Amino acid sequence: MINVKLISPNFSDLISPNVEAKQFPDGENYVRIPELNKYREKEVTLFHRLYPNQDRMLIQALLLLNILKNIDAKVTLVSPYLPYARQDKIFLEGEPPSSEIICKILADAGANKLLTFDCHFLKKEGKFTYGGLDIENISMARFLVEHAEKKFNDKFLIISPDVGASYMSKEFGGGHMEKVRGTYVEGQETYRKIDKLESDVDFKDKNVLIMDDMISTGSTMLKAVENVKKGGASKVVCAATHGFFLKDSFSKLSSSCDYFFVSDSIPSQVSHVSIRVPLKNLI
């Protein structure tokens, strides 16, 4: 089988797009794969980000996968950040297992495999089957560490803010903090407050790299910085694979730590590490 590439417009920072994705006047999605016959019965790598605008991007992915399914293409979907990956457990009766549902929908639509990075619910690098979808999960941890060490020409004590991301620091002899989430906050927005985030690691006079899978509202990272600073660290650097930088997290991080950066799984002004490196055989 010949391997061919399809690239969505939202991957244009890394490769030239050859898929059309637009909106109808009412906001619904329009997608088109020009020269469709080129992909018939082929192994196709579909590069399509699922964030930002996760719901819209998911619909676009489902439409594209369906077109390819109908021409018997075997599709590897490359989506660096998998949305809905955080609701992998049911906390309250009546909630959906969102991560599993999304994987199932992608598989049903025609994804033979998903290639993604530091997927929240997998908690380690490797190959998995989840919700009926084959997933290859690549960790950006080594590239993040490499960048920090190069930038400061120094070694770091590496720590993750919780057990879930501890696989990212463990490989480098690092530890993790303990995060305890509380109940859901009141109101329209739904998230669980962090009740506790602490560790007994000795940070005194150390260069500390705090590494997580994602920075969303930044509350985890900011609490971790506070903790590390209290412990007497001499330098505090924050890194994550996926940077959303919601609310005022970007400015708060700018003023609280010595340096922070993420990968370009979600492009931002602090995407100083590229997923292009681990994807080099595909791009």
In 110-244, alpha helices (H): 141-152, 166-170, 219-230
Euclidean distance between CA atoms 263 and 147, whole angstroms: 10
Specify the residue, 99 or 219, whose C-beta has the smaller distance to ligand R5P.
Answer: 219
Q: Which stretch binds ligand R5P (CB under 6 A): 1-9, 32-40, 102-110, 215-223?
A: 215-223
The site map against ligand R5P for 72-111 (x = CB under 6 A) is --------------x-------------------------
Taking the complex as a whole, the smallest distance from the CB of residue 196 to ligand R5P amounts, in Å, to 13
- The catalytically annotated residue of 5, 179, 206, 235 is 179
Of the listed pieces 9-17, 87-95, 101-109, 156-164, which binds ligand R5P according to CB under 6 A?
A: 156-164
* E-only strand ranges, 94-247: 111-117, 126-130, 133-138, 157-160, 175-176, 178-184, 192-198, 207-215, 235-243
d(CA 84, CA 253): 24
Asked whether position 45 contacts ligand R5P by CB under 6 A, the answer is no
Pairing of strands 29-32, 43-47: unpaired
Does residue number 162 form part of the binding site for ligand R5P (CB under 6 A)? yes
The kind and range of the H/E element at 44 are strand 43-47
Q: Which is nearer to ligand R5P, 164 or 231 (CB)?
A: 164
Choose the binding region for ligand R5P from 1-9, 94-102, 104-112, 159-167 (rule: CB under 6 A): 159-167
- DSSP label at residue 277: T
Pairing mode of beta strands 29-32, 20-23: antiparallel
| 3-state DSSP helix/strand/coil % of the chain, to nearest 5 | 25, 30, 45
Would you count residue 220 as binding ligand R5P (CB under 6 A)? yes
Select the residue interacting with ligand R5P from 79, 166, 169, 216 (CB under 6 A). 216
- Rounded distance between C-alpha atoms, residue 268 and residue 138, angstroms: 20
Q: Which of 78, 85, 165, 177 binds ligand R5P (CB under 6 A)?
A: 165
CB neighbours of residue 138 within 10 Å: 19
Told to judge if 179 belongs to the known catalytic residues of this protein, a careful annotator would answer: yes
Q: Does 212 bind ligand R5P (CB under 6 A)?
A: yes
Q: Residue 76 Cβ, how far from ligand R5P at the closest point, in Å?
A: 25
Which sequence positions are flagged as catalytic? 179
Residues at the site binding ligand R5P, with contacts judged by CB under 6 A: 86, 161-162, 164-165, 212-221
